[in-house]
Amino acid sequence: MPLTLRLALRDWDYMTPLVLGDVRSERLDIKVDRVGTLISNVAHDPSYEGAEMSFSRYSQLRHDGDDSVVGIPNFIMRGFRHRCIITTKESPIRRLSDLAGKKIGVTGWRDSGNTWTRAAIRREGVGIEDAMWYAGRLTEAHPITDRLDGFGRPGRIEAAPGERPMVDLLQDGGLDAIFTPFMPPGFFDQNSPLRQVLDDFRAAEVAYFHDVGYVPGMHLIGLKAELVREHPWIMDELSEVIDASQRMWLQKREKYADTTPWMIDELRRCAADLSPSWNVSGFEANEKMIGDFATELYEQRILPRALTPADLFPWHARAK
């Protein structure tokens, strides 16, 4: 009888074949709950055996010696971050280096995506000490929560003034730029007052890819350690099923490309700009990316000790 595995995942389109049952495992009965907000810690949640989780927060667990969650090096959320820096259309900021000395808003200081975005501008000479940072909610619709997460420093990293939405602060001149993976409502309208800092962010991202050799990973799947100890095969089985779901979804996108007028061109451009292995899962294929992320966590003072890829994924490093 297949082992039941209950997962909490965001609504990633490539999980559709898995959710619909088009992709199955003979060893696992996978039940997916679609969640908008990641659960805080799957080890303490009786509803799930596994869940999507932040790479940064998983790294914190490993740093602290918390072995209650075992991460799978299958990065179900990846993305370039150059496109995630926005400003106003009237702003003179056109290059990442122009962010030096500016007031920058972030939606969460330790978020994996923002860690990678700071890594991108650090490559252009703008470190944490070279800007003034504010953490807050993107728009009025987002909740007021502690987005500093203990990393605030007066005069350098502070909460958004008056808890005002950062989009409002940006348009009023209280911020010069915002880091956000999710664009505010109306951003893509022709009359939007906002734009991405880089006019050709795609060229910058392709250059970044050819330089570092990977697309940054933000989220992975964590499993309860007690389950992994009892059924160690479950990690590879789940990873293979997810990979199969992704492959099927890509095939369907190539076949049914009329969801947007230029989808087929986008697929062609991705094939031309990225190597076929850009989204490969597994420890060895992602070891450099994992190591670079661990370095950034240390250099950005999110973790006080530098970790190695083997520290983060000991099960998979031993099997290497």
Q: Say what the pLDDT of residue 318 is.
A: 84
One domain, residues 27 and 111: no
Mean pLDDT of 236-253: 95
Reported confidence tier of residue 224, pLDDT bands at 50, 70, 90: very high
One domain, residues 128 and 170: yes
32: left (phi over 0), alpha (psi -120 to 50) or beta: beta
Reported confidence tier of residue 320, pLDDT bands at 50, 70, 90: low
One domain, residues 139 and 256: no
One domain, residues 162 and 15: no
Which of 192, 212, 232 lies at the terminal end of a domain, its last residue? 212
Distance linking the first and last C-alpha atoms of the chain = 30
Quote the domain boundaries for residue 193: 85-212
pTM of the model: 0.95
**Is the pLDDT assigned to residue 272 strictly greater than 70?**
yes
Average pLDDT of every residue of the chain:
96
One domain, residues 203 and 228: no
Neighbouring CB atoms inside 10 A of 144's CB total 11
Question: Pick from 219, 279, 244, 318: which is nearest to 28 by CA?
Answer: 244
CB 199 within 8 A of CB 125: no
